[in-house]
Structure 1
Amino acid sequence: MSTSSTTKQPRPLASTDLETLGLDPARHDAWEIGIVYRGIDGMVSEHLWQKRPSEQALLEADPEALEINRYHERMVVPEGAEAFDMIHGVPLTLGELFKEIHDFLDGAILIGSNIGFDADFLRRMLGAAPWHYRPVCVATLAAGFLYSAEPGAMPGEAYSFSTSAVSKHMGVRQPGPDERHTALPDARWAFDLYTTVCSSPGYDERYRPGLVDGAM
């Protein structure tokens, strides 16, 4: 079955990052969700939520993950609330939280650094995958673009697919030490890297227009 289309409709873009209690979506929970959303009208908005894990989820949490994303320092969901809209300062039920996230991701192109990781947690959280079927890892996108521009510029495995390495080469600002491993700054970072690659000279010549933003 062909997945190509002669007419590609514009799609929203949802740069997404999650902070989690560990690396296994089957055992660990996501507790912070950040989205930088670009609508089909080009308007960009930012969204950030926290979700209070259950006591059992915290018992099963990986201590290293809690330390890296500073869970105990940064958790602000009020006692008695299930979730919290960090932008508007509004407590939410889990149902309200899941609906808000679902609505932003519905039909959107999901992008992020190692976005497959976040997608697995989102799929478990929402019970569905409402986004476009082809998520985009911004680090891989940037590495491919850089390599096509300067093949052999960095030898072998040293040509790292890490977001830090490709951001340095693309001149994209990285989050500071206090911002790393927090959902919204990391979502902004992915959004900035994506838009930098897609607006770089030579991008349209080497990648068919609409390949990422279209409905292929």
Structure 2
Amino acid sequence: MSTNKPTDRPRPLAAVDLETTGLDPARHDAWEIAIVRRGTDAAVSEYLWQKRPSEQALLEADPEALEISGYYQRMAVPKDAEALNMITGDSLTLGELFKQIHELLDTAILVGSNVGFDADFLRRMLGAAPWHYRPVCVATLAAGFLYAAEPGEMPGEGLPFSTGHVSRHMGVRQPSPDDRHTALPDARWAFDLYTTVLSSPSYRERYRVNLVDGAE
């Protein structure tokens, strides 16, 4: 049963990416958080923070995760601070950081590459899930669009769908090798892939027909 209503107001869109100390939200911690947010007025804003992981999370950190994300080279939070706004340079308490993130994600459609991973860490970090209950994985969305447009013609990988693979077929520029696995470039990448799929004329036409037919 669809829970969408024709009178629902437009929701903000929030493309997110996190860099973490490992893959398990029960043991590991997010240390870099990026949001590319499109408001209901269509204005797009970017946000980037770093926070110091808990001592326990660092003790249990996956060394490979820290190396891939460049934790030791890129951690910029002063030793006497808990978190840092990487765009304004302002130091924050964890409470201030969590409040800002919560407000930006409130009612938003959460999108990202393998967004369930980011959502699990965000939910544990915030103690809540203020975003819309149906997050969107951009790799799966784009793969579905490509297969529908050219059934059986998209070469290469099957499941699980690779964001890089579908990006190449959608013509979306990927972050440079130096920027991969840094939160803001990856959040921008997810935002660009999502908006490219939804800006496709053939996608808009199918979506319009679905709305007319009452399909979810």
In the TM superposition, what is the alpha-carbon distance from 1:41 to its structure 2 partner?
0.4
Name the residue aligned to 1:176.
Answer: 176
TM-score (norm 1): 0.93
In the TM superposition, what is the alpha-carbon distance from 1:54 to its structure 2 partner?
2.2
Q: Structure 1: which 4+ aligned runs deviate by more than 3 Å?
A: 155-160, 208-211
1:131-160 deviations in Å (ceiling 9; x for gaps): 011101011110000110000103685476
Q: Distance in 2 between matches of 1:29 and 1:23?
A: 9
Name the residue aligned to 1:98.
Answer: 98
Name the residue aligned to 1:192.
Answer: 192
Query: Closer, same or farther in 2 for the Cα pair 1:210/1:37, shift >3 Å?
Result: farther
Question: Is contact 1:29–1:53 with CA below 8 Å preserved after alignment?
Answer: yes
In the TM superposition, what is the alpha-carbon distance from 1:10 to its structure 2 partner?
0.5
1:42-96 deviations in Å (ceiling 9; x for gaps): 1001000000012221110000000100100000001110000000000000000
Name the residue aligned to 2:131.
Answer: 131
Question: Is contact 1:145–1:197 with CA below 8 Å preserved after alignment?
Answer: yes
Question: Is contact 1:160–1:166 with CA below 8 Å preserved after alignment?
Answer: no
In the TM superposition, what is the alpha-carbon distance from 1:8 to its structure 2 partner?
3.1
Query: Closer, same or farther in 2 for the Cα pair 1:195/1:126, shift >3 Å?
Result: same
Equivalent position SS for 2:16? strand
Name the residue aligned to 2:49.
Answer: 49
Equivalent position SS for 2:181? coil
Q: Distance in 2 between matches of 1:107 and 1:4?
A: 14
Q: Distance in 1 between matches of 2:123 and 2:139?
A: 21
Name the residue aligned to 1:154.
Answer: 154
Name the residue aligned to 1:207.
Answer: 207
In the alignment, structure 1 residue 122 sits paired with structure 2 residue 144: no
Q: Distance in 1 between matches of 2:63 and 2:209?
A: 44
Equivalent position SS for 1:121? helix
Equivalent position SS for 2:201? coil
Q: Distance in 1 between matches of 2:209 and 2:202?
A: 11
Question: Is contact 2:32–2:183 with CA below 8 Å preserved after alignment?
Answer: yes
Q: Distance in 2 between matches of 1:121 and 1:168?
A: 28
TM-score (norm 2): 0.93
Higher RCO (C-alpha under 8 Å, 6+ residues apart): 1
Q: Distance in 1 between matches of 2:64 and 2:160?
A: 24
Name the residue aligned to 1:17.
Answer: 17
Name the residue aligned to 1:110.
Answer: 110
Q: Distance in 1 between matches of 2:108 and 2:204?
A: 21
Q: Distance in 2 between matches of 1:156 and 1:33?
A: 31
Q: Distance in 1 between matches of 2:140 and 2:149?
A: 14
Question: Is contact 1:77–1:83 with CA below 8 Å preserved after alignment?
Answer: yes
Aligned length: 212
